[in-house]
Amino acid sequence: MRRRSAIVLLAWGLWLGVLTALQAVFAPKLIQFTMPALASAVCLISGLVLWIAELCTPVSERARLISDSSYATATLVVGLALALVGVGFGLWLILIGAGVSALGLGGVVREQRARGRTLHRSGQR
Amino acid sequence: MSTIATFPARTASLRTLACTDHKRIASSACVIAFVFFIAGGILALVMRSQLAADGGVISQETYNEVFTMHGSTMVYLVIVPVALAVGLYFVPLQLGAAEVAGPRVALAGLWMYICGGLCMWSGFATAGGAASASWWGFDPLSESVHSPGSGMDLWIFGVMLATLGQILWALCILITALRGRAPGMTLMRMPVFTWTMVVTCLMTVFGFPALILALGLLAAQRHLGGVLVGGAGAVDYQALFWFYGHPVVYVMFFPFVGMVGEIFATFSSRRFFGYSAFVVALLAFAGLSMTVWGHHMFSMGTVSNKYFSLTSTALIVPAGIEYFDFMGTLWRGRLRFTTAFLFALGFLVQFLIGGLTGIILASPPLDYGLNMSYFVVAHFHYTIFAGSAFGLFGGIYYWFPKFTGAMLSERLGKLNFVLMVIGANMTFFPMFVLGAEGMPRRIARYPASSGWQALNVLETVGAFVIAASVLVFMLNVLVSLRHRRPAGDNPWDAHTLEWATSSPPPRHNFDALPPIRSYAPLLDLREALEEAG
Amino acid sequence: MPSTRHAYAHVWGIYVPIAIGVFVVVIATLVLLLVRGARRTRPGRRSEALPLEIVYACALAGVAAFLVWVTFTAESPIDRLAADPGLHIKVIAAQWSWRFIYANGVQVTDVDTWHPAPAYVPTGTEVEFIGTSEDVIHGFWVPSLHYQRQVLPGYTTHFDLLFERTGYYAGECSVLCGEDHSEMRFALRAVSPARFHEWLEHRA
């Protein structure tokens, strides 16, 4: 089933572009113009990418496999948060955060591989 | 319809917070947001006590921390997360989807929210106290010279984390709406609430990164210097901040518009009126919201005042269409005055006050006189509290049966509503008068000769009435969960797909879906059955 | 240049009655719909009226255009700087007080928190303020003139004010600027041009 949802992004991106262009009448400062121009451009490009993606790959009706829980994701985020806060508090915290993130990332990789094994076993790969 | 096969997960105490079910993630977020709401509300009561007593309750520096954390909590940790969380819960259901797109990304968003909130509030435990440069964090006030101490840094990183989490949620919801709909559900058959969530997510994805950038620059300025220099640096920070800061207030508005739309349709026993015009208005409104932000900077003289007052005033066109469609939904309806319906009516009336005063502020000659005064405080509390929060309570009373399986008490609900109406108007209406009289915002004291104390006392009484109404709400939830009056699948005879499954929905959301021919599939089914005889 | 007070009153006198009128119409319509809906037994089915909505949207756009026109025509004169103002005053904001410096070197700084010593200005002529800040952003706000302008560090901001009547004009800092933000007040006293020159010479 073909979906034409890219139109939402394309229409909205175009509208943002129109509103940005209107600024030209009022002699805007650079930053005032650049921000919405960038938003408009990114929205339009995303719309184009989505449109092409939809043309090439229709939505899959195959069963998706999702793990019911993911401690690894939580761990990864906590690690990234600690590392970010560490920017203001010192290298020691950045390193702790990096370590926790590595644990989390490892867990995510494990989950992906477990998913792959389950799909393989159930014959869908 | 896609199905889910889950492989066995280990049981552990933090299971709920590691669950990838969008419903669990959203519920956890809502509970956490309620805790932050209470915390932010207590800060508000402290502020109101200080102003009623005309100073002397807390020091000025402490007062600055209190209103900074009140505003920051309510925006970054309550209303925005709740708005997105309710969308995270109900958009997949309304679309007939089994799951949200990117469940682990949604879970990551939840953890960013939790980490961000803890980070911001841990500022209170530091030697210098929490951040005290308002929820905007404008430099140079927020720079290390004027705001020394780690409270400000914790605020910066906390807001960054919370905002990143929100962007992730918005991506998940948006992609679900664009790519994960059930067969038969075209874009123009998506329910009203889902459309409001789509535009909300568009604004989040394309507007919120500006805040991350602004905060990153501020953090760099605090630790390295030379990034935001002098007046130009201050203006650039504000431009970036408000490019986020205006869309964020619409993110705090549109989901509740959607809830009110669903409530009106359900309790008028007819489908939502003017759907196609409404969708166009939503997209136009959301696009405009990205180009009106300069109206927060009128009194600086550094933006094109005329452009921004033009786009800001133009907002009356889509807003007027939305109001027309709300009224059209009530027109010729068979009305049922449930608590949810009352809260939705409260939204309609009170948001209008906020919106009209917003148009007043959109005119620079008026804004020059009223900006930074209590008139603005009144304006945004009417839109966000008397408007959106009323819409939120309407949504809670509407959807509580669906996500718990139990009905809330209508009697306590109506008491909740009455107290909240009285409290909200008593607290915020006098602020329009005080602002017009020249009372600036963010002050901890004012002279006795100003004559402002009487109205401040009235407002403080109103704030405690709001607190009482929140207590009634909490009582209602506790009592209703105790008594557990079963709700069934569709206690309200509502129209959209979330009511076509059990309460609460199973892990995979749906066992079967009815045919989807419009944005009100269950109403279509009911009308077809009626016609058949 | 018309005074800011006049511009504000003019725009207020158009915007506020329209706002109140809109509010009354919406509430009245709502009450009507609710009263009738409470009694109705069969709901209506009609749920689209696109031609009507398009006409309505055009009407709203017309109202918006009118309001924008009112705003633009009121704003241009007060944003403009007079070619030949009667007086230049430097305003320097610093945590947490205001300093006024006149061309001949006379300075006025506030001494009392709630009732600061006023800086004198002449009535009947544009007074050009040249504002800057020494530290953070402050807001120069004169509520009775319905005007404020933010002053920034490293920036010089020019704005004109016209004082039509003599009297004491209280001023506040409108932008959060730190611990003593509440107490950062100033005052202006408008007197006749003759009395102003007398005062200025006396102070020199």
Q: What pLDDT score does B55 carry?
A: 73
* Cα–Cα distance for residue pair C24/C38, rounded to 1 Å: 21
User: Could you tell me the pLDDT band of residue B162, with boundaries at 50, 70 and 90?
Assistant: very high
Please state the ipTM of this predicted complex. 0.95
**Average pLDDT score, chain C:** 93
Reply yes or no on whether the pLDDT at C96 is more than 90: no
Poorest-confidence range of B3-7, B37-41, B54-58, B99-103? B3-7
Q: What percent of chain B has pLDDT over 70?
A: 97
Of B388, B408, B390, B410, the closest CA to residue B399 belongs to B408
> Which among B7, B179, B294 has CB closest to A5?
B179
For B487-498, what is each residue's pLDDT tens digit? 999 999 999 999
Average pLDDT in the A64-71 region?
A: 81
Reply yes or no on whether the pLDDT at A125 is more than 90: no
Residue carrying structure tokens 């229709």: A58
Chain C environment of B444 (Cβ under 8 Å): 182
Q: What pLDDT score does C194 carry?
A: 94
Q: Which residue has the higher pLDDT, C21 or A27?
A: C21
Q: What pLDDT score does B9 carry?
A: 43
Show the tokens assigned to B62.
Answer: 């402490």
User: Residue C140 in contact with residue C101, Cβ under 8 Å?
Assistant: no
Poorest-confidence range of A62-76, B363-377, C127-141? A62-76
With touching defined as 3+ CB pairs under 8 A, do chains B and C touch?
yes
For B205-215, what is each residue's pLDDT tens digit? 999 999 999 99
With touching defined as 3+ CB pairs under 8 A, do chains B and A touch?
yes
Chains that touch B (3 or more CB pairs under 8 A): A, C
Q: What pLDDT score does A2 carry?
A: 58
Chains that touch A (3 or more CB pairs under 8 A): B
Average pLDDT in the A38-50 region?
A: 96
Which 471-530 residues of chain B touch chain C by CB within 8 A?
none
Show the tokens assigned to C150.
Answer: 């933010």
Q: What pLDDT score does B248 carry?
A: 97
Please indicate whether, in this complex, the C-beta atoms of B108 and A73 are within 8 angstroms of each other: yes
Which 49-108 residues of chain A touch chain B by CB within 8 A?
50, 59-71, 73-74, 76-78, 81, 84-85, 87-89, 108
Please indicate whether, in this complex, the C-beta atoms of A69 and B179 are within 8 angstroms of each other: no
Q: What pLDDT score does A62 carry?
A: 61
Please indicate whether, in this complex, the C-beta atoms of B365 and C173 are within 8 angstroms of each other: no
Chain C environment of B327 (Cβ under 8 Å): 26, 29-30, 33
The dihedral region occupied by B305, where left means phi > 0, alpha psi between -120 and 50, and beta the remainder, is alpha
User: Could you tell me the pLDDT band of residue B57, with boundaries at 50, 70 and 90?
Assistant: confident
Which 85-124 residues of chain C touch chain B by CB within 8 A?
95, 114-115
- DSSP code string of chain C: ---HHHHHHHHHHHHHHHHHHHHHHHHHHHHHHHHHHHH-SS-------HHHHHHHHHHHHHHHHHHHHHHHHHHHHHHSPPSS-SEEEEEEEETTEEEEEETTS-EEE--SSSSPPPEEEESSSEEEEEEEESSS-EEEEEGGGTEEEEE-BT--EEEEEE--S-EEEEEEE-S--STTGGG-EEEEEEE-HHHHHHHHHHH-
Q: Which residue has the higher pLDDT, B314 or C41?
A: B314
Count chain A–chain B contacts defined by CB atoms under 8 A: 175
Show the tokens assigned to B464.
Answer: 């405690």
Reply yes or no on whether the pLDDT at B379 is more than 80: yes
Reply yes or no on whether the pLDDT at C79 is more than 50: yes
* Cα–Cα distance for residue pair C204/C200, rounded to 1 Å: 6
With touching defined as 3+ CB pairs under 8 A, do chains C and A touch?
no
pTM for the predicted model, two decimal places: 0.95
Please indicate whether, in this complex, the C-beta atoms of A69 and B15 are within 8 angstroms of each other: yes
Q: What pLDDT score does A124 carry?
A: 59
User: Could you tell me the pLDDT band of residue B7, with boundaries at 50, 70 and 90?
Assistant: very low
User: Could you tell me the pLDDT band of residue B3, with boundaries at 50, 70 and 90?
Assistant: very low
What's the Rg (C-alpha) of chain A? 22
